[in-house]
Structure 1
Amino acid sequence: MVLIGKPVQLNVFIDKQKNKVMFAEADEEFVEILFSLLILPLGTIAKLLAKHADPMDIKVGSFTSLYQSVAQLDVKHFTNEYVKNALVNPVNSTAYIFHKLKLNLDTCVNGIHSGVTFLKEKSSFIITDDLKITPFLPDKSIEYLSTLGVECINSLRQTTIHLDYEEFTDLLKWSLLTDNALTNFVNGGSKPYPFSSSITNTTFGNLAMPKTVKLLVQKSTKKLICAQVDNFFVEMLFSYLTIPLGAVIRLTRDNLSPVVGMHNVYNSILILGDGNYLKSDDIKYMLLRPKLASIYNHATDFLPIYEQGKTRSSFLKEQATFIVSDDLQVALSLPVSTISNFSIGVPVGDIEVREASIGEREALSILKASLTSTTVLTDCLKKVIMEPKAEPST
């Protein structure tokens, strides 16, 4: 893997008493790299985070453990080696963009910086702790800083940070976890933003009839042990890794979503596009509605991610039964031994089987939760897990 690029600069202003980043200022090169995160597939982001993860790190959602499951699953279970590689090293539909950025975070693309890419011209920007991006305009910025609680800029501690590949990966991690990404990045992190587990009623059309998965639940604690699933569920999970981050945010946006850093980056593009700062409406559309790469055929009926008429195909070679953990680890189901890995210490008599229906609504909810939660199935299927089980009729 060859990484192309040079460090970019960020000037950070810190409240010395609270040890909190009040705001930062950056040029267009930093902002464009932030924007580029939205067109990276989830699998590429998982690969970035896994490569630079510390064993003591806070885990970022569950799509990272999903990615590791794909990497570890024997290639014989995939349609062919090319298919597995396309999940482990996801293809970006806008790979050509990364040739132009000063720092290229797409590990599958080599590039050389060649100027402003998304924005019309060189500019300066104010960036808040939660990654709202605003152009620096002297007549408006003083009032804006006042709304951030900045009383006197001279009373703040200013520090200049140079971000290379590893630093930007760390900032990416906090932008997915928290609403104070810059403070966590500068100070080495604290704790993630709490996940909202509600399933919304937002739908995108009837893609397919729901299918059923079986949940193994500990009766005494109502704790999910694992799910027993067929190919359709695993194909759905694997499809997550092919979806660009911006498309994930677009598909799962609602009023209940935690507004973490990357949501604000996404929303800032809406504002900058309306303010005529982006090069074109095509650029705005590309960042807000990034597409799957053309190599990915129609693998699941439960996600509205494929262009009309896309060829139907599968990642998996043949029908099988799989076990999926609460944090989306996927393993081929083997006799007893696989389940025992998830149910250590739970008496057999304390395990019961529940059935959950999976349709588009649940698929999008699991996708949303995979970004922030390490108990995805519990969060998204809680109603089935917690409800009293009906006694068999006599």
Structure 2
Amino acid sequence: MATTTTTLSMKLLIDRKAQRLLFAEASKDVVDFLFSLLVLPVGTAVKLLGKEGMVGCVGNLYGSVEDLDATYVQPGAAKDALLRPTVLSLAASSSSSLLRLPAPLSAQPKSFYRCTSIFNSSCRSYITDAYGKACPTCGNQMTAVAQYIPPAGQMAEKGFVQGVVTYTVMDDLTVTPMSAISSITLLNAFAVRDLGDLQEKTVQLGYNEVDHWIFHLF
């Protein structure tokens, strides 16, 4: 495998007094990488055996995708691409990226359809994203493609999750969107009494760390 200096970073919140890791704050790129682990053959194994029957943290990772609200999923991406993977190739599409998400997870321009009638101008007032839907005016199938064009300068994000928020990653690989309330709830759950005991530490995640992580994941 070609070497690369590409790394991802996470912020860890550590309780120095208890000498334990509470949780990590992760960016979209880190979460995309973690979820991409499900395209390995174990993704299919989890589907067949059930996440409760998996050894290690894979079941938690699988459950995190299941429970993730659609609000945080990229347009054009589908949970089934991770929960029921059919693309099992581990070949990285680029030597500059850690992510190995299958192609369907990249956001694609969405297609819309108009009525095929050319005789009734009111038919052209309707548009749908359901191919073949009956036109409300004439009843013909709406199959004429009308491609959506995003605003100038707007680029479609790649990957699986939205980048508008950061994410909480627990030591058992449970992943959830981060919020102030959820962070306070976690601190209460860990019975943290003195915020002065908390330490923030940024760690880098590169290919060496990934290989070590995957080895211990299962």
Q: TM-score range by the shorter chain?
A: 0.3 to 0.5
Greater share of residues in helix: 1
Under a length normalisation based on structure 2, what TM-score does the superposition of the two structures give?
0.46
Looking at both structures, which has the greater relative contact order when contacts are Cα pairs under 8 Å and sequence separation is at least 6?
Answer: 2
TM-score for both structures, normalised by structure 1: 0.27
